[in-house]
Each structure stands twice: as C-alpha cells, then as structure tokens.
Amino acid sequence: MYVTAAILSVLLTLITISAGVPKVRLKGASIDTLQSHMGLSPGAVRLIGLAEIAAAGLVVGLFWQPLGIAAATGFAVLTVGAAVFHGRAGDFANPDTRANAIAPMVFCLLSVAAAVTLTLAM
C-alpha cells in the first residue's frame, strides 16, 4: 500500500506544482482563460495557485502521513470547486472545453485515492 501511496503522492505533487506556479506568477495560457472565461480576478487565480502548491504537501505525507492526508483532502476540495466553476461556465456541454472540465474530476479521484492509501499505509 505504501508504494501506491508514494506513486500517487509524487504524481499529484508534480501535477499540483506544475499547475500552481503559473497561476501564482499569473503567466501562462490558462491564466487568460481563468480570468476571461471563468471570471476570476488575478487575486483569486493567485490564491488557487497557492492552494495547488500547498497540495504539494502530499509528498511530505510519505514521511508524516497526517500532512499528506490533509494535503490530499484539501486538493480534493479544491478540484471539486474547480469542477463546479467549469460546470457554471458550461464547459461540460462544450466539446472544445470538456477536457478542461473533466481534468479536475480525475485529479479529485486521484487525490482521494492518495488520501485513502496514505491512511491505509499508516
């Protein structure tokens, strides 16, 4: 179970850092979309980026499981919020933006799996 937790934690840590850093810096192609299409302010985009970077605590959870479980749970909540925002923007109905809307749901499932495997590995 520990190997599965390690793989999920490292994978999600890489994903959260690569998604969070551009948002904190307000640089990248997705930033314009978040601001124009989703209606988020620059401050909200930065806050989301900081929350994604904080989810990198998953990898620390390999050494101290409570932090990893908290990071995975927090990231799951963040991705549920992202799915709600995509739903409000109509991204699920649009074939061009559907992949952007489904991605947070996949990351939510991965983060729940990471939290469960970290819990079982204790």
User: What's the confidence (pLDDT) of residue 94?
Assistant: 87
At residue 48, what is the residue type? Answer: I
- Region of 40 please: left (phi>0), alpha (psi -120 to 50) or beta: beta
d(CA 27, CA 39): 17
Other CB atoms within a 10 A radius of the CB of residue 27 amount to 10
10-64 pLDDT, tens per residue? 999 999 999 899 999 998 877 887 888 788 889 999 999 999 999 888 888 888 9
61-75 pLDDT, tens per residue? 888 988 988 999 999
Q: What is the pTM of this model?
A: 0.85
Q: Contact at 8 Å (CB) between 103 and 80?
A: no
User: What's the confidence (pLDDT) of residue 50?
Assistant: 93
